[in-house]
Amino acid sequence: MKIAPLTGNLGAEIWDADVRDPAQFGEIFQTFVAHSVIVLRGQNLTPDAHLDFARKFGPINVNRFFAAHPEHPEIALVTKEPDQTQAIGETWHTDHSYDEMPALGSILHAIETPAVGGDTVFCAMAAAFAALSPAFQSILMPLRAWHSSRHVFGPDQADTEATETGRITNAQAARQDALHPVVIRHPLSGRPGLYVNPQFTIGIEGLSTLESDAILGAIYEHCRRPEFQARLRWHPGDVAIWDNRATWHKAINDYPGYRRHMHRITIEGCTLSAHG
């Protein structure tokens, strides 16, 4: 097994591994904890093998809103057809932050990718927090923020391309609202990290809209700095795992006229606690 960091702050590539080998899981898991995003090249998994590997991380969280694999409901389909213009996940976000116990992470298996384009970009929340001034860190530490699924997956989104094509469904189930610390202690690494995101965070508890927007806007502008980011280029057969408690991510929609087809499994998480 060969392991190399993707960037100085986030991510690692792994070659010559086999996720079907139980003896390799310990090293893969420790690399995941250390780097928050890992990509295992050239795995070419069957759905059953994908599920077996996912269960080593924990129980599977069946996504409420994504279209499911016809034979394996635990696997969500992340697909963009050549004639579609909208990619799922184009806004910076953290999966399932609207849940009381946000997902540990997601395991995405690339089935079909465009020859060029269709990358995923990640952002390191621990590195972003560490780079804030001590004064701003102290302001953020006691705060909590609301996250919601309603404005993204609810009935108001019924006329979007993703819902019209059946890629996103079940709008009536978008009833999740959750309150989390703005700065969390990571459940695995213990590192402090920011836990707000542009797509699902709707406001900071106890602040006016003006105050909340100012603080969240400053965080988001800071987190978009390139030194906190890692960009993953996909190849068919790759398997990537990212930690939803330590990262943001977004899909890059730059491959018009080509198909991109992925299988995603999400892993159950735990309640998040404040750092400090």
* 7 pLDDT more than 70: yes
For residue range 76-132, what is the model confidence (pLDDT) as tens digits? 999 999 999 989 899 999 999 999 999 999 999 999 999 999 999 999 999 999 999
Query: Residue 153's pLDDT is what?
Result: 84
Domain ranges of the chain: 2-274
CA 75 to chain centre: 15
* 31 pLDDT more than 90: yes
Residue position matching structure tokens 């009935």: 155
User: Could you confirm whether 150 is annotated as catalytic?
Assistant: no
Confidence of residue 66 (pLDDT cuts 50, 70, 90): confident
Strand 260-267 relative to strand 183-185: parallel, antiparallel, unpaired?
unpaired
* 159 pLDDT more than 70: no
Among the listed residues 64, 109, 147, 264, the single catalytic one is 264
The token pair at 68 is 């499911």
Task: Answer yes or no: are the C-beta atoms of 178 and 145 closer than 8 Å.
Answer: no
Mean pLDDT of all residues in 170-192: 91
Mean predicted lDDT score pLDDT of the chain: 95
User: Could you confirm whether 264 is annotated as catalytic?
Assistant: yes
Which residues, listed in sequence order, are joined to residue 93 by a DSSP beta bridge?
Answer: 249
Among the listed residues 93, 147, 191, 263, the single catalytic one is 93
Alpha-helix runs per DSSP H in the chain: 25-35, 47-55, 125-130, 134-140, 150-153, 161-164, 209-223
Reduced DSSP (H G I as helix, E B as strand, rest coil) percent helix, strand, coil of the chain, to 5: 25, 30, 45
* 161 pLDDT more than 90: no
Distance CA 47, CA 274 (A): 36
* 168 pLDDT more than 90: no
Task: Answer yes or no: are the C-beta atoms of 85 and 256 closer than 8 Å.
Answer: yes
**The overall pTM is greater than 0.75:** yes
Among the listed residues 95, 99, 238, 243, the single catalytic one is 95
Mean pLDDT of all residues in 44-64: 95
User: Could you confirm whether 259 is annotated as catalytic?
Assistant: no
Determine the 3-state secondary structure of 4 from DSSP: strand
Query: Residue 151's pLDDT is what?
Result: 87
Distance CA 119, CA 113 (A): 9
Class (C level, CATH) for 2-274:
alpha beta
User: Could you confirm whether 93 is annotated as catalytic?
Assistant: yes
Among the listed residues 249, 260, 263, 275, the single catalytic one is 249
Q: Which amino acid is at 122?
A: F
Mean pLDDT of all residues in 189-201: 97
For residue range 211-244, what is the model confidence (pLDDT) as tens digits? 999 999 999 999 999 999 999 999 999 999 999 9
